[in-house]
Structure 1
Amino acid sequence: MPTHLITGAGSGIGEAVARRLRERGDDLVLLARNAARARELAALHPGARTLVGDLDNPDRLSWAFGQQTMPDRLDSLLHVAGVVELGRIGELTPKAWHFQINANLIAPAELTRLLLPQVRVSQGHVVFVNSGAGLAAHAEWGAYAASKHGLKALADSLRHEEHGSGVRVTTVYPGRTASPMQAKVHQQEGKEYDASRWIDPESVATTIVMALDLPRDAEVTDLTVRPGR
């Protein structure tokens, strides 16, 4: 059975993707920030394995993985987790910048570095769930957009570097998606949150699974998903 390592499987798009893959019988390895979160993910996705590593502290990921049993091969590495903190450039502190760049850019880069050998073994797939902010930045989204623009560059470079090894790389750019993160964004914006206005995480999960299942003669490189209403 295919094996997938997924970040952000506890809610939103990540939860939807993990559930979809588990229901069809694929093997899952779910990244958790700590042991307590690992237990929660195991309960949410019965049968899945967990791996503990904190995306907020990418410098420690190599050490953390060295204390655990790693998968021998991965058919996909799905970078779904992300964080956001809005603020004007003139007011954002270095802490806010580090928080978002560590979790949204440096951690995916380090996870990819550490797990790329297992992906190469299966000529697998690396998927980066980016954001519309990874293509265009707006007021108060500067730090988040910078992290996501960087994530696009990471994916594009990786695609060129790994083409010869048979590894496929896809970036998905969802618009606003109904999720706990979106609720947090609305709170920061001072707006009322209505989940029905935004993309269902299941719809984004459908696009990710489609990219994974595409026959080997083709590759989805970039895919933008926008709200339909």
Structure 2
Amino acid sequence: MAGMATHVITGAGSGIGEAVARRLHERGDELVLHARNAGRAKELAAAFPGSKTLVGDLADPDRLSWAFSHQSLPDRVDSLVHSAGVIDLGPVGELTPRSWHHQLNVNLIAPAELTRHFLPQLRAARGHVVFVNSGSGLNAHGEWSAYAASKHGLRALANSLREEEHGNGVRVTSVYPGRTASPMQVRVHQQEGKEYDPAHWITPESVATTILMALDLPRDAEVHDLTVRPGR
């Protein structure tokens, strides 16, 4: 992306989203960082000086449109990076509708609603939508049903969006990282009752490198699906 590009990023507070935001910030791009509340927005603005923030609760996608209508949105959006996600493991026999709704809302319905909201700007800029998916978007293991369902759904969202918006010049990329050394991974290990060693997993920076590669590709190419696995 030549010149000053503007990126809307969810999940910029930690993990892959934070690594992507830092790299784009370092090179002087404009950032619009999504936060779930005003306190979090302040933290993000302090962490990335000069960036703008956008407040709305991804767990309540029905109200995102209302929340955004009370804030100033960017006129230009060159990329929308969906990196926020939640996870709650458990067997089908124990997961409650509340757990299902929470994961589907944050991981699938909110990205769809954010995309709908920014499509006019993305079309105008011939921009790029990046969905940070998961290995669970390709395979579902025991105890991972709700999370994997949300990520399988995210894959479907990306594939449909790509076909719909291709004629408008909007590129769509799904990234499927293996286990990444992030706060989410710490929670997963706690839920699995396993010891956590970040050295075993991919660094968020390595995944960020692949996302920037997709964003920076010349216009004649589009990365559809990118699987990133631990190299050791």
TM bracket, shorter-chain basis: over 0.9
Q: Indicate the residue corresponding to 1:77 in structure 2.
A: 80
Cα shift at 1:47: 1.2
Percent of aligned positions with the same letter in both sequences?
A: 77
Cα shift at 1:49: 0.5
Task: State the Cα deviation string for residues 57-106 of structure 1 (Å, max 9, x = none).
Answer: 00000000000001111000000000000000011000000010000000
Q: Which amino acid aligns with 1:137?
A: A
TM-score by length of 1: 0.99
Distance in 2 separating the partners of 1:187 and 1:39: 29
TM-score by length of 2: 0.98
Distance in 2 separating the partners of 1:120 and 1:33: 26
The within-5 A match list for 1:115-134 is 115-134=118-137
Quick one: which of 22, 27, 39 aligns to 2:25?
22
Task: State the Cα deviation string for residues 186-220 of structure 1 (Å, max 9, x = none).
Answer: 00000011111100000000000000000000000
Distance in 2 separating the partners of 1:87 and 1:11: 24
**Unaligned 5+ residue runs, structure 1?**
none
The within-5 A match list for 1:185-196 is 185-196=188-199
Q: Indicate the residue corresponding to 1:39 in structure 2.
A: 42
Task: State the Cα deviation string for residues 5-35 of structure 1 (Å, max 9, x = none).
Answer: 0000001100000000000010000000000
Q: Indicate the residue corresponding to 2:16 in structure 1.
A: 13
Q: Indicate the residue corresponding to 1:2 in structure 2.
A: 5
Cα shift at 1:45: 1.1
Q: Indicate the residue corresponding to 2:172 in structure 1.
A: 169
Q: Which amino acid aligns with 1:153?
A: A
Question: How many residues align structurally?
Answer: 229
Quick one: which of 219, 226, 231 aligns to 1:228?
231
Distance in 1 separating the partners of 2:60 and 2:200: 34
Distance in 2 separating the partners of 1:48 and 1:78: 15
Distance in 1 separating the partners of 2:25 and 2:95: 40
Task: State the Cα deviation string for residues 141-163 of structure 1 (Å, max 9, x = none).
Answer: 00000000000000000000000
Q: CA RMSD in A?
A: 0.4
Q: Indicate the residue corresponding to 1:137 in structure 2.
A: 140
Q: Which amino acid aligns with 1:14?
A: G
Cα shift at 1:44: 1.1
Q: Indicate the residue corresponding to 1:213 in structure 2.
A: 216
1:113 aligns with 2:116: yes
Distance in 1 separating the partners of 2:47 and 2:230: 27
Distance in 2 separating the partners of 1:73 and 1:49: 13
**Unaligned 5+ residue runs, structure 2?**
none
The alignment partner of 2:8 has SS state of strand
Q: Indicate the residue corresponding to 2:162 in structure 1.
A: 159
The alignment partner of 1:88 has SS state of coil
